[in-house]
Amino acid sequence: MCRQMVRKLTQQIKFTLVDQTKMITAASELSRNTVVYGGGGEMRWQIVSQGIKTGLRLWFEDKGPGIPDVDLALTDGWTSGTGMGVGLSGSKRLVNEFEIRTAVGEGTCVTVTRWK
Amino acid sequence: MERIPILKMGKVLLVTIQVDLQDQVALALQDDLSAQIDKTGASGVLIDISALEIVDSFVGRMLASISGIANVLDATSVVVGMQPAVAITLVELGLSLEGVRTALNVERGMAMLAADDRNRIDD
Amino acid sequence: MKQENALFDDVLKAAPEDFLRSWLSEAEQSGESASLAKTATHDAREVMSSLQEALRADADLTRFDDAAWGRTRAVLSELSQSRAAQGASAGETSYFVLAIKKPLFAGLREALAASPQRAFDALWAASTLIDRMAQWTATTYQRSREDVIQRQQQELLELSTPVVKLWEGVLAVPMIGTLDSSRTQLVMEALLTRIVETGSELAIIDITGVPTVDTLVAQHLLKTVTAIRLMGADCIISGIRPQIAQTIVHLGIDLQGITTKATLADALQIAMKKAGFVVTRAAA
């Protein structure tokens, strides 16, 4: 999957092992979401910098049905254990910045950033 | 498609997961394990994840699933060797892996299963 | 070479020693300490030579970020780093670079005495270039200081959360100071790694040195315990002072079945028992 790519990138930027793991896991969750709920999608990446900070930004975009109630999807679904809940809210905790743009019928785009 | 090998050691089935699990491989593993538990009458399942560097919600669910299946088939299970980075990430993800027993390494895991087996005999 | 570049280069090569002297005396006005003055001459020469190199390679005066100015940037980084390490202030360091304006402007004014308009343009170009150089120097300076501070912070953090082996299979972490998320991360990483390395099944986290426990701190502790359990080990929290116990109950914090003890000694006792050890006193 895209894991190898993200692993390579995080190693390039020299993230700590834990940060690498968190980023790759978040990428795994989000790309799985695009496949399972969005009918397939694409991931874009960019190495970003803000002043002296360096980081990795990933975009996960699909042209699926979109998420009707984002707030609901973002509330912790971990006790109910169903797919999307953990993936979205969990990923949010694994990264420093999390943005989601979605609308019914217009697909979804999740942007995540992790700083070194 | 590669299938993950299941080794039999006495009454324990040993599974070592060494690669990032593809969905189909994971599902095949569940099928194979259930079949093996049934066929061999194994009383314990040990899953070694010491080589797994990434455990996401899918793998987590799979591990919980295998524990559940083993349970229903009257066997006990234990997951061993979780890496620190994985544990930290899982906690952050919010995956509780409830119902999944864990041990530090294969040695401890086997000891746990052996103890379970002894208790079982007393039933 | 572009016309303006050639102009600047001429000023630099006309009388380099005078140029240098004028620059350094101007820099001294900022009160640079004597020890820095030793390296000042060498630094100034390096800067001058890198400038000439860039000018002759037709570097764009308005684009200091271009590759052509690479060596100049490197030289400035180096001198700002060494000054940062020697304790010079940011002001002194950037003033050193700004001081080059004196000889440069003087040279340009002389060269273009007959054409004031061109003189103005050239001075403006020179000023902008040197400002960018000073800006670059200041940023690098900042970066070096922050690196030092970060390194010191990290060392402090590591020193204040040592993981010790109390007994066969029992590790302890005395937490001292406020428990925030970065602290928690560090403890988790250190503790979990040691658990794997030593094969210890029990970890005692002693919070005697943690001043307050609120919901957030409790969350951090719970995260740590969950991670420990996920790996197949268990955890005892010791050092719970009476006030903390009250706060925990007040806030309705659910400790999820974690064993808690008032003192490290009590926790060790439980740990040993769990591990199957019996302690007896030898007959006197």
pLDDT tens digit string along B6-56?
999 999 999 999 877 778 888 899 999 999 999 999 999 999 999 999 998
Question: Which helix (H) or strand (E) covers residue C251, if one does?
Answer: none
Three-state DSSP state, C167: strand
Q: A112 in the Ramachandran plot: left (φ > 0), alpha (ψ -120 to 50) or beta?
A: beta
pLDDT at B8: 94
- For the cut 60, the answer to whether the pLDDT of residue C174 exceeds it is yes
Do C82 and C222 lie in one domain? The reply is no
C22-44 mean pLDDT: 77
Query: Interface of chain B against chain A, CB under 8 Å?
Result: 20, 53-58, 61, 64, 84-86, 88-89, 92-96
Whether residue C284 has pLDDT greater than 60: yes
If you search the block for the tokens 């790996």, which residue do you land on? Answer: C231
pLDDT at C26: 87
Tell me if ipTM is over 0.95: no
Using a CB–CB cut-off of 8 Å, the residues of A that contact C are 18, 52
Taking an 8 Å cut-off on Cβ atoms, the answer to whether B93 and A90 are in contact is yes
Query: Residue C38: is its pLDDT beyond 80?
Result: no
- Supply the DSSP symbol for C67: G
C11 lies in some domain: yes
| Co-location of C88 and C32 in the same domain | yes
Q: Show the beta-strand stretches assigned E in chain B.
A: 6-9, 12-16, 44-48, 76-80, 102-103
Residue that finishes a domain, picked among C89, C123, C152 = C152
CA distances from B6 to B15, B44, B73, C155 (A): 5, 12, 17, 46
Chains that touch C (3 or more CB pairs under 8 A): A, B
pLDDT score, position C195: 95
C236 part of a folded domain: yes
Instruction: Indicate yes or no: CB of B94 within 8 angstroms of CB of A21.
Output: no
- Does C135 lie in the same domain as C10? yes
pLDDT at residue C213 in the model: 84
Ordered DSSP codes for C133-162:
HHHHHHHHHHHHHHHHHHHHHHHHHHHTS-
- The average confidence (pLDDT) of chain A is 84
Could you tell me the CATH number of the domain that includes residue C181?
3.30.750.24
User: CB distance C185–A18 less than 8 Å?
Assistant: yes
> Which residues does C contribute to its contact with B (CB < 8 Å)?
185, 188-189, 192-193, 195-196, 199, 201, 223, 226-233
Indicate whether C40 and C137 sit together in one domain. yes
Residue C85 lies in a domain: yes
User: Which of C146, C185, C189 has the CB atom closest to A52's CB atom?
Assistant: C146
DSSP 8-state secondary structure symbol assigned to residue C20: H
**Distances in Å between the alpha carbon of C103 and those of A49, C71, C99?**
37, 21, 8
- Report the residue of chain C nearest A52, measured CA to CA: C143
CA distance C223 to chain B (A): 6
Instruction: Tell me, yes or no, whether C110 and C223 share the same domain.
Output: no
Residue of A nearest to C185 (CA): A18
Q: Which residue, C103, C118, C152, sits at the end of a domain?
A: C152
Please report whether residue C106 resides in a domain: yes
Residue with tokens 């490290």, as numbered in its chain: C264
Torsion of CA B76, B79, B80, B86, to 10 degrees: -170
Cα A86 to the center of its chain, rounded Å: 12
Residues C168 and C148 in one domain: no
Q: Give the whole-number percent of chain B exceeding pLDDT 70.
A: 98
Residues C144 and C48 in one domain: yes
Q: How confident is the model at residue B122 (pLDDT cuts 50, 70, 90)?
A: low
Residue C282 located in a structural domain: no
Average pLDDT over chain C, rounded to whole? 87
Nearest CA in chain C to B109: C232
* Residue C264 and residue C194 share a domain: yes
Q: Which of C142, C146, C189 sits opposite A18 (nearest CB)?
A: C189
Residue after which a domain boundary falls, among C152, C182, C214: C152
> Band of the pLDDT at A82, cuts 50, 70, 90?
very low
Contact at CB, A81 and B61, closer than 8 angstroms: yes
Q: d(Cα C78, Cα C73) in Å, to the nearest integer? A: 9
CB contact under 8 A, C193 and B90: no
Q: Are residues C136 and C177 in the same domain?
A: no
Instruction: Please name the member of B64, B86, B94 whose beta carbon is closest to the beta carbon of A90.
Output: B94
pTM over 0.90: no
Please tell me which chains touch B, using 3 or more CB pairs under 8 Å as the contact test. A, C
Please indicate, yes or no, if residue C75 is contained in any of the structural domains: yes
Q: If contacts are CB pairs under 8 Å, which of residues 156-215 in chain C contact chain A? A: 185, 189
Contact between chains at C227 and B90 (C-beta distance less than 8 A) = yes
- Split into its structural domains, chain C has a count of 2
Same domain, C90 and C143: yes
Q: Does C93 fall in a domain?
A: yes
Q: Evaluate whether residue C284 is within a structural domain.
A: no
More confident residue, C178 or C200: C200
For residues C147 and C190, state if they share a domain.
Answer: no
CA distances from C74 to A53, C93, C130 (A): 20, 15, 15
Domain holding C243, by residue range, is 164-274
Q: What is the pLDDT of residue A79?
A: 36
Nearest chain A Cα distance for residue C70, angstroms: 18
Note whether C7 and C142 are same-domain residues. Answer: yes
